[in-house]
Structure 1
Amino acid sequence: MTSDRKSETAMKALKPIIASLTLLFAVPVCIAGNPFVPSEKGTALTYVNRDRKGNIVGRSVQTVTDIAETAEGTVITINDRALDADGKPLTADTSAMSDITVRIRISGDRVIFPMENIDQLIAEIKESILGNDDIDFTVAMDEICYPLHPQVGQQLETVHISMSLKSNDRQFDIIKITIKDRSITGRETVTVPAGTFDCWTVNETEVMKTPIGMGTTTQSVTWYAEGIGEVKSQTLNKRGKLEESSELVSIAVVRR
């Protein structure tokens, strides 16, 4: 296979990786009394995702499968199942990963999304779609952290993510993502199909760049409710126009 063909194959493989990373970033993080994770094992949160025109483009169900105390702190395990616009499971043709397991750690005064979640995701995507030993992806990412006890005006750490392609013993940067200007901006009452919630708002700016100078800048605002996690989110382009949105449509408790 030529170098150009390898690069083309790799770029096609990159699309579901970025989509899966986006799903991971959308997983809410919290513990009882904190607005960043459902506080009860078995809680199932169903979301609807819409495009800029308001059309439903996908759904997801995020279920808390375990809450455990470990030597590193409290570990919350969430299964994130992606569905199509009609609520049907995704197929291999539409997504490399329809079910993602995410483990979130509560340590001290911090809620931490560890790098190990990305490691597991990338390994599964490589196995399912690459099928070529001459091409490999590497991902480097900072841990994403939130405060266990948020305050209005609080600034959050900038997050850096980079993706590289390795082919024929040469490594090329593909995409660099910076999530910056992360802050807790206020409290608002928000009504969505699942109910009315008193929420904290978190604002972030995501800058994505490629080596050839192409890139995008988007702004996001997310509303979080105590004991629930994410209730609503919006992504805006650099002109302030809505690009996509997500909202909580139902809450259930799965008894096992």
Structure 2
Amino acid sequence: MKRYFLLIVLALFTVHTSEAQSSCSAYYPLVDGANFQYTNYNKKGKEEGQINYKVTNVQNGGDTVSAIMMMEMVDRKGNTYTSDYEIACDGNVVKIDFKSLMNEQMMSQFEDMEMDISGTDVELPNNLSVGQELPDGNMELKMKMGGAINMNMNVETINRKVEKKESVTTPAGTFDCFVIYSETKTKMMMGNQTFPSRTWLAEGVGMVKQESYNNKGKLTGSMVLTQFSK
């Protein structure tokens, strides 16, 4: 279960670097009832599970729009995990406060632990262009697992860059996308690792596809938009 929790944290960090569309965002529809379904695949293309998202409780306040994103994650064995967190669009940039990922529902899964989370937002501006460099972000998680056992995890999203424009087809349709390259650097007690990834973003839809690679550039897994409605 603890291993599953860490996978969820990484999935949240890498998937939702932006999560809104309204008058202040060109990506992801921030409207009540919008639904996204993503299917996870391993390096051989075998289905590993699904993540479902639903936008709720949208609040408009001048140049700022906020909402609650409800998440349900189902692995290949049928185990499910649900959570929700806040997202916001401020001006023409979408941001996430990573502390909001650690809500009471998630904390209740680990009543025997003390956790502290901090970090900086990952931002996505409206006006993307090929060759554009994007700001880094990071998240630090400190866990007390009982007794004298403590675990710290630091996750950084670095080297973010808009590589190209490309059309991509998924079960949800065909989309014109910007392709964003980034590297997720994790630091844990067992060592440091860096995982490159690419994300395909479509205006008005958001993330359409994501691919993750090992440090040699070989595909290790992917996530594809399989259903979308708003």
Q: TM-score, normalised by structure 2?
A: 0.86
2:207 paired with 1:230:
yes
- Aligned twin of 2:96: 113
The change in CA–CA distance for 1:153 and 1:30 in structure 2 (over 3 A counts) is: farther
The change in CA–CA distance for 1:103 and 1:164 in structure 2 (over 3 A counts) is: closer
- Aligned twin of 2:119: 141
Give ranges in structure 2 of 5+ residues lacking alignment: none
Give ranges in structure 1 of 5+ residues lacking alignment: 1-11, 92-97
2:28 paired with 1:37:
yes
How big is the shift at 1:173? Answer: 5.1
2:140 paired with 1:162:
yes
2:197 paired with 1:220:
yes
SS of equivalent to 1:149: coil
Size of the alignment, in residue pairs? 227
State the Cα deviation string for residues 95-141 of structure 1 (Å, max 9, x = none): xxx22223211112211011342231xx43332233x3xx4222222
The change in CA–CA distance for 1:237 and 1:30 in structure 2 (over 3 A counts) is: same
For residues 171 and 109 of structure 1, the distance between their equivalents in structure 2, rounded to whole angstroms, comes to 43
The one-letter amino acid paired with 1:125 is M
For residues 32 and 143 of structure 2, the distance between their equivalents in structure 1, rounded to whole angstroms, comes to 39
Is the 1:162–1:173 Cα contact (8 Å) retained in structure 2? no
Is the 1:45–1:252 Cα contact (8 Å) retained in structure 2? yes
For residues 51 and 22 of structure 1, the distance between their equivalents in structure 2, rounded to whole angstroms, comes to 16
- Aligned twin of 1:150: 128
Q: Find the structure with the greater CA-based Rg.
A: 1
SS of equivalent to 1:22: helix
- Aligned twin of 1:193: 171
The change in CA–CA distance for 1:167 and 1:104 in structure 2 (over 3 A counts) is: closer
For residues 105 and 18 of structure 1, the distance between their equivalents in structure 2, rounded to whole angstroms, comes to 24
2:6 paired with 1:18:
yes
- Aligned twin of 1:94: none
Q: TM-score, normalised by structure 1?
A: 0.78
Compare 164-173 and 233-242 and name the one that shifted more: 164-173
Structure 1 or 2: more strand by fraction: 2
Is the 1:232–1:246 Cα contact (8 Å) retained in structure 2? yes
State the Cα deviation string for residues 165-196 of structure 1 (Å, max 9, x = none): 34789795522222100122221111111111
User: Which of 99, 105, 109 lines up with 1:124 in the alignment?
Assistant: 105
The one-letter amino acid paired with 2:197 is S
State the Cα deviation string for residues 32-56 of structure 1 (Å, max 9, x = none): 4855312543221211101112111
- Aligned twin of 1:102: 85
- Aligned twin of 2:217: 240
SS of equivalent to 1:219: strand
Is the 1:202–1:223 Cα contact (8 Å) retained in structure 2? yes
For residues 151 and 44 of structure 1, the distance between their equivalents in structure 2, rounded to whole angstroms, comes to 27
The one-letter amino acid paired with 1:231 is V
**Which residues in structure 2 correspond to 1:32-111 (within 5 Å)?**
32=22, 34-70=25-61, 73-85=64-76, 90-91=79-80, 98-111=81-94
The change in CA–CA distance for 1:115 and 1:46 in structure 2 (over 3 A counts) is: closer
Is the 2:182–2:198 Cα contact (8 Å) retained in structure 1? yes
Structure 1 or 2: more helix by fraction: 1
Is the 1:29–1:35 Cα contact (8 Å) retained in structure 2? no
For residues 175 and 95 of structure 2, the distance between their equivalents in structure 1, rounded to whole angstroms, comes to 24
Query: Could you tell me the percent identity over the aligned residues?
Result: 22
Is the 2:63–2:91 Cα contact (8 Å) retained in structure 1? no
